[in-house]
Structure 1
Amino acid sequence: MLLTENEKQPVAIVTGAGQGIGFAICRELMKQGAAVVLNDLDAELTTQAADQLNKEFGKGCLGVPGNAADVTFINNLVATAVKNFGKVTIAIANAGITLFGDFFTYTPEAFQQVMDLNLRGTFFLAQAVARQIKEQQTGGSILFMSSVTGHQAHKNLAAYGMTKAAVEMLAKNLVIELSAYKITVNAIAPGATLTERTVSEEDYESTWSRLTPLGRPASPEDIAQAAVFLTSDKARHITGQTIVIDGGWSSISPSPY
């Protein structure tokens, strides 16, 4: 094992974590003493991210590249976490894809790609981790990544928005299935967030600073801190809930168009 097994140490799997919100979540988890299995589709990005965190914290991050929409890979990811750290207690289904497109011309191929990662990957990661936690009898936490687009209509994001609304319903439904095993399941719904992807978009920061009541888009750390709280013992009586993190945007919903 990479670490001496510690009964009290959280062990987390975070998908889509090579950069942005997922990477910030891994960092915040490790600040709190967790061991982390960091996944990303991009193998080079996975290695760089894990190396950076291990340099910061000494040890405790294992990078595992692969497709978080593939069920065989998901099952292997959980097995790898258990092999290296002895258990899994937290899963954060952060991997997702946003494919903009006009409703009238949206292709079946784009639709399937969004469904596979955002829904299939989320559902089966939750299933695999819940099975492991049930077997361990340790309790644990599962967190889904939703979006404000699951609450408010957004131009050219019909397929994406429906997946995000769906994962919030999944969090509610799994309360029935998982509570007996002391597994909490929640979702967070970020609004505009400054990541490596969005910061390169023209006028993104200035536009969302103007539209957001608190005066700025979120940072990845804003989202990560909420994620770490919801998967910690401090939130052990919170389950089936979605927390919107958007600086107040969805309360008044000014259009970006």
Structure 2
Amino acid sequence: MKTPKVAIVTGAGQGIGLEIARKLLSQGSHVILNDLEKGLTENAVASLSREGKGKVLGYSGDSASQVVVQGMIDLATHEFGTLDQVVANAGITLFGSFLDYSAEDFQEVMRVNLLGTFLLTQGAARVMKNQQNGGAIVLTSSVTGHQSHENLAAYGMSKAAIEMLAKNLVLELGPFGIRVNTVAPGATLTERTTSDPDYARTWSNLTPLGRPASTVDIAEAAAFLLSDVARHITGQTLIVDGGWTSVSPSPYV
């Protein structure tokens, strides 16, 4: 019988992160599910516990905190003895025009999106190196790291930097069999975006394939990059946007 893999997924109380956790559980992985909000973490764990083949444990807290990151890693290794898959999905979006953007907002975007991703990747890679059987890490980027998007200068910077991290780590982690890739969603239907009644219609018109992504679309891509099927893929970014970055029409025009 195949030994279950063990995964950490951050920002997984809802939306894309939750769907990635659901997908991994359906494949038999055990999952440590993290969200900043305790209520979202608990609800997600309760829901997924009834669905997946694997086991799911919750760990609430700030994913950009070194204490929280280490706590998640310790929980995975203590409960399951290994750590094989990591999805650094937690992030924040703070819109604002470039000329008026505050230093405080800039620092918070970089703290959550960059520091949190860096710390989790670093901590997980240390464990994977010591285990001596490799591992797979997926970082969540965005199409805004590839194409200009109004009022998202800082956010776009952070996402482009995340992709560079994955590319750079090919050199340092490849020799240990640790793969690091990035998934870059385009417009996606989540709890946050569907609060805008015009979102689905607007992005259906702008997307060559005729609709925005579902969270399942993004989860399938992330699960592929984490799987053994992608065993010779590292340092890459998989854009999941229905073709939007090929033409890049703005929703503001």
Residue 8 of structure 1: how far off its partner (Å): 2.8
Partner residue of 1:37 out of 27, 32, 36: 32
| SS of aligned partner of 1:55 | coil
The size of the alignment, in residue pairs, is: 252
In structure 1, which of residues 218, 228, 249 is the aligned counterpart of residue 244 of structure 2? 249
Rate the CA distance shift 1:169–1:246 in 2: closer, same or farther, 3 A. Answer: same
1:67 to 62, 87, 90: 62
Which of 59-68 and 147-156 deviates more? 59-68
Q: Which residue of 1 aligns with 2:145?
A: 150
Matched position secondary structure for 1:244: strand
Choose the corresponding residue for 2:154, options 155, 159, 170. 159
Give the Å deviation of 1:84. 1.0
Structure 1 position 26, deviation (Å) = 0.4
- Partner SS for 1:52: helix
Task: Quote the Cα distance in structure 2 between the aligned partners of 1:7 and 1:122.
Answer: 30
Deviations 1:132-153 (A, max 9, x none): 0111112110111000000000
Given the alignment of the two structures, is residue 84 of structure 1 paired with residue 102 of structure 2, yes or no? no
**Are residue 235 (structure 1) and residue 230 (structure 2) matched?**
yes
| 1:13 and 2:4 are equivalent in the alignment | no
Q: Which runs of 5+ in 2 are unaligned?
A: none
Partner of 1:121: 116
- Unpaired runs of 5+ residues, structure 1, are 1-5
Structure 1 residues 122-201: aligned runs within 5 Å? 122-201=117-196
Q: Is the 8 A contact 2:29 2:54 kept in 1?
A: no
Conserved? CA contact 2:5–2:84, under 8 Å: yes
CA RMSD of the aligned region, Å?
1.1
Give the partner amino acid of 1:28. K
Out of 39, 42, 47, the residue aligned to residue 42 of structure 2 is 47
Letter in 2 for 1:91: V
Is 1:219 the counterpart of 2:220? The answer is no
**Aligned residue type for 1:71:** Q
After superposition, give the CA deviation of every residue in 1:92-131 in whole Å (9 maximum; x if it has no partner). 0000000001111111111111000100000110000000
2:199 to 201, 204, 209: 204
- Any idea what SS the aligned residue of 1:57 has? coil
Give me the whole-angstrom Cα distance separating, in 1, the residues matched to 2:53 and 2:206.
40
The Cα shift of 1:35 comes to: 0.4
Alpha-carbon distance, 1:237 to partner: 0.1
Check 1:232–1:44 CA distance in 2 against 1; reply closer, same or farther (3 A cut). same
Cα distance in structure 2, aligned partners of 1:108 and 1:215 = 38
